[in-house]
Structure 1
Amino acid sequence: MNLKPQKTLILVNLGGPRTTDEIEVFLMDLFTDPFVFDLPLPEFLRMPLARFIAKKRTPKVRKTYESMGFGGGSPLVSETEKQAKTLERILNQTTNIDWTIKIAMTCGYPHIRDPEFGKPNPNTIYLPLYPQYSRSTVLSTLHHLEKKFKECPVGSGGYIPTFASDPKFHQISAKFIYEFFTGGLNPKDFLHFPKNNPNTDWKNLDLVFSAHGVPMRLIHKGDQYMKEIESSVFGITTELRKLGFLGNIHISYQSKVGPAKWTEPSSLTMIESLAKEGKSIAVYPISFVSDHLETLEEIGEQFKDLAIQSGAKTFIRVPAFGTYLPFMEYLSKKVLVADAEIRRCICQEMGGESISTCRFK
């Protein structure tokens, strides 16, 4: 008989289509989310427009996914499953608790609204896999959970907050980048890992921290995302300097959709400018913890082609964490403290808006 206490950890990510057949469903979930597709329109106009855009983009997006070599879908779900298995092993080995780790997505499958994902509490803990807070990711996740359980998860003991400003996260990130350039990572643990030595003169690279962009409309609503990105980069840069990095650091934003003004500078503009100066460029995906479309295709192919064609001396894509053991161990420690000590509305503080059922109002 197993007398150990039992707990469930649910890793939450944005999601991605696992197959070609799921692309339209994924896009529909994405564009109908009011925290992602945030437009100054009443719902009876916003929702039909969102569905129209999702349908219209499906054929183009299908071609992009087909070119990635993962059977017409995204590897994000399967990569998150690998992270779940790793965390489950670590937690079961290091605690006297019987842990079950599941994954849930806010777009596509397995969807966070599915019945198998229970109410956040000290025994059912949600960990959004976003280092930085944003309305389009974290607040969206909290809204999904509130809609499902009629209660904001923050302060329930079942929610793990973002960690962009944590010095330990900065140290692990710097160590990861260092080990990538100095041969300390196992290529088999990563997708599309470079076959040759990434760059022998890594200390003098121009290192671009590329984050997923968000519309400036969200920033104007109080989203602290850009500040979170800057905090992450500052802390990681400080640690990289201790490891001998001497090169220039840049922050940019990728994946812009539509004509509205988004966070700047654009990663495309940044990389083209550096390439024209003949720089050796490396790009690190600061806002992602697992590789998928934006890292493998956008950074690894589109950015690389632009850089080489524009005159870059070299270009290298640094992978996302994946199952990098120091990061997985770091997350396991975050799980054990959860959010029981939170006594304030972090949604208002970080996203500019309280969820209606906030327990701290």
Structure 2
Amino acid sequence: MSFRAPFAIPRRILSSAATSALRPATGGYVTCYSNPRRGLATAVPPVTQDATSSKGPTAMVFLNMGGPSTTNEVEDFLSRLFTDGDLIPLGRFQSYLGPLIAKRRTPKIQKQYADIGGGSPIRKWSEYQCAEMCKVLDQISPETAPHKPYVAFRYAAPLTEMMYQQLLDDGFGNGKGGRAVAFTQYPQYSCSTTGSSLNELWKWRNRLEGSQADPTGAIQWSVIDRWPTHPGLVEAFAQNIEAQLKTYPEEKRDKVVLLFSAHSLPMSVVNRGDPYPSEVAATVHAVMQRLNFSNPYRLCWQSQVGPSAWLGAQTSDTVMQYVKRGHTDLVLVPIAFTSDHIETLYELDLEVMEEANSPGVKRAESLNGNPTFIKALADVAHKHLQKGEPCSAQMTLRCQGCKSERCLEQKKFFAGKQHGALVM
């Protein structure tokens, strides 16, 4: 079983874990402004607080899981991942078990990253998307310009603490104030993804700027915490699906089955009240509405590993069952990802599709540098900046079964005075 989703733990390791040692990141933070295919990057220009715009400058911070850019980074990436209790709860011995699991898994995962080109492209695409979005924002929202692009990954460089220190070095905070927007790149909210990233951001904000809710001169944060049915996101997905459908003969095109695939979740997380399954389903329905329900479709879930119950049906099982039944024309649509990474390039392309062994099983292109998607990002950000709210009202609600004090305090902080009383 390969490493797929962030929750992927081998059954035998989970069974032995009855019931961090994070290596310091080094090096400066860079943001890509050039052609992403060339892999060039330049340092983010320093920000000063005497900008001519009335409400700028504005730091736009993309939050995502991240991925190792080289095979040498795999063990550190896995160690951070397996010591994150928000993502993979392993109990009181997590800080010990996490690095052990990571070390054991590293050789196999290094091989998988080698098979997709030597590392994850998620940093390249995230930096490109953020930089291009900021260019659009400078044009459509001049009152909050200049917009400065930053990326904060949860488990790989640039880590959240690296990004935060760069903000301070660039002139935000440290008594100068300034505005920053935490923009989740998980369109559908989950406590295991967006929630974990916000917990990390809140932690480093407290460490680097103090734990008070509103110290004078600190960075003023707001959050774009979900955007599952934004028309631009829906349009970008629909365009990629339509492009792939055109590769089938016209007489067969409307019979191609669309299989929307998203990360699965353990049922313990789902039953706690996590909104992710319903928000993913909302994205799928919106995309099918845009396509006028032209094709039969299903939502399936990839990456279940371990003995506990997970949200299904699984993507790999679904593909094989349909192929056996004679449905050999299938388009896989990664509906919860904003760019390519190991789950698309390895799990879908090199495992699921090769196992199906059918020329009719294909995958819609990921969003990556899609211009429609870049415009969607800018529109989401622009509307957020215009609205002036710290976060959505939906973010103020904890999962019905949530017992995490860290989650409670993080939500209170980001909700601010405007929505803080709603967080309970």
Q: 2:166 aligns with which of 113, 116, 123?
A: 116
Separation in structure 1 between the aligned mates of residue 388 and residue 232 of structure 2, nearest angstrom = 20
Secondary structure of 1:291 counterpart: coil
Structure 2 gaps of 5+ residues are 1-49, 215-219, 413-419
Deviation at 1:352, TM superposition (A): 5.2
1:163-202 to 2 correspondence within 5 Å? Answer: 163-167=227-231, 169-182=233-246, 197=247, 200=250, 201-202=252-253
State the alpha-carbon separation in 1 of the partners of residues 400 and 167 from structure 2. Answer: 24
Taking the aligned partners of 2:267 and 2:259, their CA distance within structure 1 comes to 21
Conservation of the 8 A alpha-carbon contact between 2:240 and 2:364: no
Which residue identity does 1:124 align to in structure 2? Answer: A
Counterpart of 1:48 in structure 2 is 96
Q: Counterpart of 2:138?
A: 92
CA-CA distance at 1:113 after TM superposition: 2.0
Distance in 1 (CA, whole Å) between partners of 2:151 and 2:392 is 27
Please tell me whether residue 315 in structure 1 is matched to residue 371 in structure 2.
no
1:248-259 map, 5 Å: 248-259=296-307
Opposite residue 210 of structure 1, the aligned amino acid is: S
60-69 vs 340-349, greater mean Cα deviation: 340-349
Matched, 1:266 2:314: yes
Letter in structure 2 aligned against 1:87: M
Partner of 1:113, secondary structure, is: helix
1:329 pairs with 2:375:
yes
Q: Secondary structure at the match of 2:262?
A: strand
Select which of 133, 136, 143 maps to 2:189.
Answer: 133
Q: Which has the larger radius of gyration?
A: 2
Distance in 1, matches of 2:157 and 2:235, equals: 33
> Is contact 1:275–1:313 with CA below 8 Å preserved after alignment?
no
Structure 1 residues 343 and 318, CA, compared in 2 at 3 Å: closer, same or farther?
closer
**Cα deviation digits, residues 112-140 of structure 1 (max 9, x gap):** 12222468997211111011111111110
Task: Report what 1:355 is aligned to.
Answer: 408
How many residue pairs match? The answer is 334
2:200 corresponds in structure 1 to 144
- Normalization by structure 1: what TM-score? 0.85
Residue 270 of structure 1 aligns to which amino acid in structure 2? T
**Structure 1 position 261, deviation (Å):** 1.9
Aligned to 2:348: 299
Cα pair distance change 1:290/1:222, threshold 3 Å: same
Assess if the C-alpha contact under 8 Å between 2:256 and 2:296 holds in 1.
Answer: yes
Alpha-carbon RMSD: 2.6
- 2:41 alignment counterpart: none
**Is contact 1:281–1:316 with CA below 8 Å preserved after alignment?**
yes
- Note if contact 1:271-1:306 (Cα within 8 Å) is conserved in structure 2: no
Measure, in 1, the Cα distance between the counterparts of 2:313 and 2:197. Answer: 27
Is the counterpart of residue 78 in structure 1 residue 142 in structure 2?
A: no
State the match for 2:29 in structure 1.
none
Moved over 6 A (4+): 119-122
For residue 63 of structure 1, the aligned residue among 90, 94, 111 is: 111
Mapped to 1, the partners of 2:396 and 2:331 lie a distance apart of: 33
CA distance in 2, matches of 1:178, 1:221: 36
CA contact (8 A) 2:304 2:310 kept: yes
Give the Å deviation of 1:351: 7.8
In the other structure, the counterpart of 2:153 is 105
What displacement does 1:349 show? 4.4
- 5+ residue gaps, structure 1, are 183-196
TM-score (normalizing by structure 2): 0.73
- Secondary structure of 1:241's counterpart equals coil
C-alpha separation between the residues in 2 aligned to 1:139 and 1:240?
A: 31
* 2-structure distance, mates of 1:84, 1:225: 24
Letter of the structure 1 residue corresponding to residue 245 of structure 2 = F
Counterpart residue type for residue 226 of structure 1 = P
Amino acid at match of 2:335: I
The answer as to whether partners of 2:232 and 2:373 remain within 8 angstroms in 1 is: no
